[in-house]
Structure 1
Amino acid sequence: MDTTSLPVRPATAFDLVTLVGKEFGPTEWYEVTQERVNAFADATSDHQWIHVDEEKAAASPLGGTIAHGLFSLSLGPYLSSRLLAFDRFPHGLNYGYNKIRFPAPLPIGSRIRMRVNVVAADEVPGGIQVTTTQIVEREGSDRPVVVAESLTRVVAAS
């Protein structure tokens, strides 16, 4: 996908069904900075040293601070909306996750991007549930930093 173009914006239940089995992405690169991780630590009160203490983390086997796994996961809605947007439906919401894995650490100073695979689009009471696999990859790494099966519920247009 040309990441300079607009994301795919399905408008009907049929549009969603036709996306099953397709991959979108990758997104543009997103830089993970110490400032962003510190802000996340402040917002969640998770100040574990491996995330925020640059001096102590530098002496650890990881060689520096790393982002929280949940920081990486929290970027899912932002990054995935760059690829697949549900804004043409009356309403949509993040319904949750079935599976989440953090296969590799995310060192501060890294750049990440996302790919999205549409796994299913199923009718549910009041709308459609879209299941996607979100894969967050780190530049220069052969292992993803996040693999998450995400659930989005959208209200189908009448």
Structure 2
Amino acid sequence: MTPLQAAVAEAETQIGTEVGVSNWITVDQKMIDEFAKTTFDEQWIHVDPVRAAAETPFGGSIAHGFLTLSLASRFAYDCFGMLPRQVMGINYGFNKLRFLTPVRAGARLRGRFTLQNVSARSETDMLRENLLTIDIEGHDRPALIAEWLGLAVFAPK
């Protein structure tokens, strides 16, 4: 059995189960401001906490949805290591993505991963589909949910 075949067989036993929970990350105003500058999205609901507190139902500034989503890579690093003979992991995209709850400046987030499907795509690539839930500490509803696709690329034989 090749390392890829072994990885697929092992992962198949985990379908439907939570396979990782990350550490918490604080999304503070500095992070939001830096993301706004980097992406040229400096809408006041993100970068003006005083105005956002006065003029929105959020009670202050909120993180960009894409900032929240961009933390998915950090959460994955917390949860997944390299498999035997795996040479890299590649973000393959999303099937579905929903932003459910605004993330206030100062909130703490973590990612939870539930394996939904796995398959060998080629002789070197394993495709994993995880349901990613990004939790907001102290909230019942998550910030977002997404079906995230990732490739585990293995060294050729």
State whether TM-score is above 0.5. Answer: yes
Tell me how far 1:24 sits from its aligned partner: 2.9
The answer for the alignment partner of 2:137 in structure 1 is 139
The answer for the alignment partner of 1:83 in structure 2 is 79
Change over 3 Å in CA distance of 1:92–1:25 after alignment to 2: closer
Q: Aligned to 1:40, what secondary structure does the other structure show?
A: helix
The answer for the alignment partner of 2:101 in structure 1 is 104
Number of residues of Structure 1 aligned to a counterpart in Structure 2: 148
- Distance, in Å, in 1 between the alignment partners of 2:125 and 2:141 is 35
The answer for the alignment partner of 1:57 in structure 2 is 52
- Distance, in Å, in 1 between the alignment partners of 2:66 and 2:83 is 25
2:13 is aligned with 1:18: yes
Tell me how far 1:25 sits from its aligned partner: 3.8
The answer for the alignment partner of 1:152 in structure 2 is 150
The answer for the alignment partner of 1:6 in structure 2 is none
Q: What CA RMSD, in Å, does the superposition of the two structures yield over aligned residues?
A: 1.6
The answer for the alignment partner of 2:30 in structure 1 is 35
Tell me how far 1:26 sits from its aligned partner: 2.8
The answer for the alignment partner of 1:44 in structure 2 is 39
Specify the code of the residue in structure 2 equivalent to 1:101. R
- Distance, in Å, in 2 between the alignment partners of 1:13 and 1:90 is 15
- Distance, in Å, in 2 between the alignment partners of 1:135 and 1:18 is 21
Unaligned 5+ segments in structure 1 are: 1-10
- Distance, in Å, in 2 between the alignment partners of 1:49 and 1:124 is 44
- Distance, in Å, in 2 between the alignment partners of 1:142 and 1:105 is 13
1:12 and 1:156 in contact (8 A); partners too: no
Q: Higher helix share goes to which structure?
A: 2
The answer for the alignment partner of 1:67 in structure 2 is 63
Specify the code of the residue in structure 1 equivalent to 2:103. L
Specify the code of the residue in structure 2 equivalent to 1:143. R
- Distance, in Å, in 1 between the alignment partners of 2:92 and 2:8 is 17
- Distance, in Å, in 2 between the alignment partners of 1:15 and 1:43 is 40
- Distance, in Å, in 1 between the alignment partners of 2:63 and 2:147 is 20
1:136 and 1:147 in contact (8 A); partners too: yes
Tell me how far 1:146 sits from its aligned partner: 1.0
Q: TM-score, normalised by structure 2?
A: 0.87
Larger radius of gyration: 2
